[in-house]
Structure formats: C-alpha cells, structure tokens
Structure 1
Amino acid sequence: MTLEEFNQAVNLYSDSVYRFILKNIKDEDKAKDIIQDTYEKLWKKHTEVAFLKVKSYLFSAAYHTLIDLIRREKKQAQWDEADFRNHSHTDGYSDLNEVLHKAVEQLPETQQLVVMMRDYEGYSYKEISEITGLTEAQVKVYIFRARKFLKAYIGNIQVLV
C-alpha cells in the first residue's frame, strides 16, 4: 500500500470505523484512541496489506483493539448466570431508541459487536466473520442469541408504543 492509498483509506473508512467503535464503547476519547491505534497498526503493516483488503483489516484491527481494551478494564460479566426476567422491560415508555440502546448495553461484548455490525452497519455474516475472526456459524449463533435476548428484554412492542 502506498502513502496515497493509506491516506485514501483514512478518508474512506475512518468515519465508519469510528462510528462502529463509538457505538460499542460509548466513550469518545477511548474510541478516538482505538482509531488512532488501528491506523498506527495499519501504517506499520502498510507494505503487507493490499488496498483492496484495507477495510476488512481496519475493522478487524479496531475490533481486536476494542476487545483488548475491554478485557484490560475487566468489564466482562457472567452472562450465563444472569436472570433475564429481572432485566426485562415491561413498563410503558415512548422512547424506543433509548430502550433499545439500554437493551443492547445488556448484551455480552461479542454479541453486542456482531449485532451492531449486522444490524447497524449492515455487514454480511461473511464480512463479520472476517473482521471478528469468528466462524460464520458462530456469528449467526451470537446474532440469534442477541436478538432473542433483545426480544425478551423489550417484551411486547405494544407496551413501548
């Protein structure tokens, strides 16, 4: 990859990578740090990364940097032990967007990331698989489980409207 191609990659993909990270971490400063680290990694490997593969490389590197940060901060929870009925939403509320964001925040990091990539960013299962390093089957399972949890959390859509 040449310097011009690197600069073009910054112009083309920095906003979407930033939105993806910010949507998952909810901290602008940390998201900016992750983006900076991601582009630093790309620059260090610019001779090895083809320009046609740069988007996939950027999202993969950003995803792995995000996971590393989360693990360092030890924000992982034991989701297997959670009782989802205690966290379900049954009260009437008119701001569906806020309820949905609150529900997504309850998901484990991996499920949260793959759901965001699929439903928010519009990536295919194959692209998500390449970015995260998971198999397509794992991606589908995580998305299924996340959607199932979201459905249980939000409850009846009539309550929200």
Structure 2
Amino acid sequence: MTEKDYNDCVRQYADNVYRFILKNLKHEEDARDVVQSAFEKMWRNRAEVEADKCKSFLFTVAYNQMIDHLRKAKRVTLKEEFREDARISYKEVNNAKKILEEALDRLNETQRSLVMLKDYEGYSYEEIGQIMGLSDSQVKVYLHRARLQLKNYLVKPENVI
C-alpha cells in the first residue's frame, strides 16, 4: 500500500469506521481513540496491506481494538453514591430511537456488531466475516439470532409506540 492508497483509504472509510465504533461504544472520545489506533496500525503495516483489502483490514483492526477496549472497560468498575431523596423516578415517553437503542444494548458485543455492520453500514456477509473473523455461515446464523432477539424485544407491548 502506498501513501496515496493509505490517504485514499482514510478519506473513503474514516467516517464509516468511526460511525460503526461509536454506535457500539457510545462514547465519542473512546471511539476516536479506537479509530485513531486502527489507522495508526494500518499505517505501520502498510507494506503488508494490499490497497484493495484496506477496508477489510481497517474494519478488522478497529473491531478488535473495540473488543479490547470493551474488555478493559468491564474490568473497571465505578461506584456512584446517591442519596435516596435525590433520586427522581419518572417514565419517559417511548420513542422509536430510544427503544431501538435499548434493544441493541441487550445484544452481546458480537451480535450488536453484526447488526450494525449489516443493517446500518450495509456490508456483505463475506465482508463482515472478514472483519470479525467468522465464516459466512456463522455470520448468517449469528445475525439471524440477533435479529430474532431484537424482534422479540421490540414487539413487547410496553415497547410498542
């Protein structure tokens, strides 16, 4: 991969990678860090990366960095103390975006990433398999199960708008 190929890859895929990572991490700074480190790794390995495979390489590295970040975050626990009288409880009005985000949050990391890559970013089963290190049939099965889980959550009476 030449410097020009690298720059073309950055221009073409930076927004897609960032959007994918941000949807999974839900924290802008963390998403920027993950995407930055993915591009950095691609730059360091540019001699081994073929220009026509840069998208797959980039998403694979970003996905793996995101998984590492999530694993590290799970090890860190934060404790917040609240006074009982300071708590406010109310039921928000349901809206589709909030319900969909709650449904996606209920999926595990792999399922959420599959749904985001296929349904939000529009990648093929083959591309998703390359990014996540799964076979095409595994992608299809895991995606089917994730969609069923989403469907079962979304059709609950309390979630219907």
In the superposition, the TM-score normalised over structure 2's length comes to: 0.84
Q: CA deviation at 1:28?
A: 0.3
Partner of 2:134: 134
Determine the structure 1 residue equivalent to 2:119.
Answer: 119
Give the letter aligned to residue 97 of structure 1: K
Q: Deviations over 1:5-53 (max 9, x none)?
A: 1111111110110001001110000000001100110011101111111
Give the structure 2 partner of residue 105 of structure 1: 105
**Is 1:14 matched with 2:14?**
yes
The percentage of aligned residue pairs carrying the same residue is 46
Q: CA deviation at 1:142?
A: 1.3
In 2, Cα distance between equivalents of 1:64 and 1:158: 35
| Aligned position for 2:3 | 3
Distance 2:13 2:37 in 1: 14
Q: Which stretches of structure 1, 4 residues or longer, exceed 3 Å deviation after superposition?
A: 156-159
Q: How does 1:44-123 map to 2 (within 5 A)?
A: 44-74=44-74, 94-123=94-123
Which deviates more from structure 2 when the two are superposed, residues 136-145 or residues 125-134?
Answer: 136-145
For 1:130 and 1:6, the matched residues in 2 are separated by: 19
Alpha-carbon separation, structure 2, partners of 1:95 and 1:73: 29
What SS class does the counterpart of residue 49 from structure 1 fall into?
A: coil
Aligned CA distance change for structure 1 residues 159 and 100 (closer, same or farther; 3 Å): closer
SS at match of 2:31: helix
Q: Secondary structure at the match of 1:8?
A: helix
For these two proteins, the number of residue pairs brought into alignment is 146
Give the CA deviation at 1:74: 2.2
Determine the C-alpha separation between the residues in 2 that align with 1:2 and 1:122: 27
Where does residue 86 of structure 1 map in the other structure? none
Per-residue CA distance 1:97-151 (angstroms, 9 max, x = gap): 2101111011100000001111111111111001100111211121111111111
The 10-residue stretch of structure 1 (47-56 or 2-11) with the greater mean CA deviation from structure 2? 2-11
State the AA in 2 paired with 1:33. D
Per-residue CA deviation, residues 56-103 of structure 1 (Å, 9 max, x unaligned), is: 11001100110111112227xxxxxxxxxxxxxxx9x65112101111
**Rg bigger for which structure?**
2
